[in-house]
Amino acid sequence: MEESLLIQTTERYFKGEMSEQEKISFEELRNNNPEIDQLIVEQIYFLQTLHKLSDQKRLIHHTNETVAKLTSEGFITNKQPKISADIISIWHKYKKTVAVAASIAIVVSVTCASIISIFSPGKQNSIKPLVEKLREQDVKYKKLEKQIGKLNEAAISNAPLEKPRLESKFRATGFMIDVVNNYLVTNAHVIAEAKNHLIVENNKGEQFAAQAVYVNVDKDLAILKITDEDFVKLAPTPFSIKKTNADLGESVFIMGYPKQEIVYGEGYISARNGFQMDTIFCQLSTIANEGNSGSPVLNKNGELVGVVSSMETNVEGVVYAIKSSNIFNAINEMKQTKENEDIKITSNPTLKKSDRVNQIKKVQDYVFMIKGD
């Protein structure tokens, strides 16, 4: 009986039905009796749950009514909506405008570039791409290393030797965005180095043949496809790609191959635009080295916000990255072509709750060395 009275009183308190004076004495009672207070906390929680359950049932009722209404109107159908067709028709509609805009952009950028070269002589070379060109010596050393490796292997087992490894003339970085069709993102200037062969190498040192399927020199973006049949498909990529710009001051990390193993680096977004206010890029404050070209730039939630492209040679720690939104543009352009219309972003973001060490563990399998000759 006493409990019934307590629940009754609590309910009046919960619903705000008490007079000021009643409320004061009720709160005093709670303050002075921790045991009663605990009971009341439980009861409020209980009443809240009931209350919320009622709200939810009402909401469900409303949504069911809405669905019924929209179905009778024909707005909701069981047929598959043709989203992609819509996008293509939008593309057709705006194709001309886009073409005009693009040509204006080209004219403007060419003019600006020449102005820069006239008015800031010498500055031209102050920004350099981060592809590491391997020296002759390194190539020789690697050859030797490989021969020794092969000998050891042959000695251990009589298994057939692996396919010949490529003697690469450069090393850069790229990362996977589509695990179904094996598409990777890297820089356009990386691809330019591969005159004969192009391969990707994972963090276990396995090499796979690849092919550039999209190159956009203006945005310094390229997309590769692993064509090698030996490549074992990966699970969906653990990071999503951010469509909006990263915030100024946001802390970021990069992973890439400035050496023959994966290297982690930290930094922050230090400016919204890149070299000479180029809006395609943003500026990072971090340390990057040759070989970091194409490295993914991720924020603390593990969202991809950029792709490392180049660095300032005159100022320490200034690195430029292509804003991630450009990747979406590249993908949309690729979808227009028959051969690459299958490209998808296969992200299943699982990094938000992980600490940095685990984020790195999850991401590293998706970051590849890009090599070629």
Partner 1 sequence: MNNLGFDKDLLEGLKLQDKNCIEKIYRQNFQMVQSLILNNRGSSDDAADIFQETMIVLYEKSINPSFELSCQLKTYIYSVARRLWLKKLQQQQRIGLQTDDFEQIIPVEDDLEDHQKQQDSFTIMEKAMAKIGEPCKSLLEAFYINKKQMQEIALEFNYTNADNAKTQKYKCLVRLKKLFFAEYKY
Only segment of 91-99, 141-149, 264-272, 351-359 that touches partner 1 (CB under 8 A): 351-359
Only segment of 185-193, 220-228, 260-268, 340-348 that touches partner 1 (CB under 8 A): 340-348
Total number of residues shown for the chain:
373
The distance of closest approach from Cβ of residue 210 to partner 1 in the complex, given in angstroms and rounded to an integer, is 21
Q: Write the CB contacts of 146 (distance below 8 Å, at least 6 apart in sequence).
A: 165
Among positions 178-197, residues that touch partner 1 (CB under 8 A) are: 180
Distances (CA, A) of 153 to 159, 162, 201: 8, 10, 20
Q: Which of 225, 347, 359, 369 binds partner 1 (CB under 8 A)?
A: 347
Give the span between the Cα atoms of 347 and 332, in whole angstroms. Answer: 16
The distance of closest approach from Cβ of residue 233 to partner 1 in the complex, given in angstroms and rounded to an integer, is 10
Among positions 41-80, residues that touch partner 1 (CB under 8 A) are: 42-43, 46, 49-60, 62-67, 69-70, 75-78, 80
The distance of closest approach from Cβ of residue 56 to partner 1 in the complex, given in angstroms and rounded to an integer, is 6
CB-wise, 185 or 351, nearer to partner 1? 351
Q: Which of 95, 135, 352, 361 binds partner 1 (CB under 8 A)?
A: 352
Q: Is 344 in the site for partner 1 (CB under 8 A)?
A: yes
Q: Is 103 in the site for partner 1 (CB under 8 A)?
A: no
CB-wise, 319 or 351, nearer to partner 1? 351
Render 64-105 in DSSP notation, one character per residue: HHHHHHHHHHTSS-SSPP-HHHHHHHHHHHHHHHHHHHHHHH
Only segment of 26-34, 113-121, 129-137, 236-244 that touches partner 1 (CB under 8 A): 236-244
Strand positions, DSSP E, the chain: 127-129, 132-133, 170-178, 183-186, 198-201, 207-216, 221-226, 240-241, 251-256, 263-271, 281-285, 296-299, 303-312, 318-323, 367-372
Number of residues that bind partner 1 (CB under 8 A): 55
Q: Is 148 in the site for partner 1 (CB under 8 A)?
A: no
Distances (CA, A) of 112 to 183, 303, 310: 33, 33, 19
Q: Is 240 in the site for partner 1 (CB under 8 A)?
A: yes
Strands 296-299 and 303-312 turn out to be antiparallel
The distance of closest approach from Cβ of residue 203 to partner 1 in the complex, given in angstroms and rounded to an integer, is 23
Question: Are the C-beta atoms of residues 350 and 314 closer than 8 Å to each other?
Answer: no
Q: Is 4 in the site for partner 1 (CB under 8 A)?
A: yes
Strand partners, 322: 281, 307
The site map against partner 1 for 273-312 (x = CB under 8 A) is ----------------------------xxx---------
The distance of closest approach from Cβ of residue 34 to partner 1 in the complex, given in angstroms and rounded to an integer, is 16
Q: Is 107 in the site for partner 1 (CB under 8 A)?
A: no
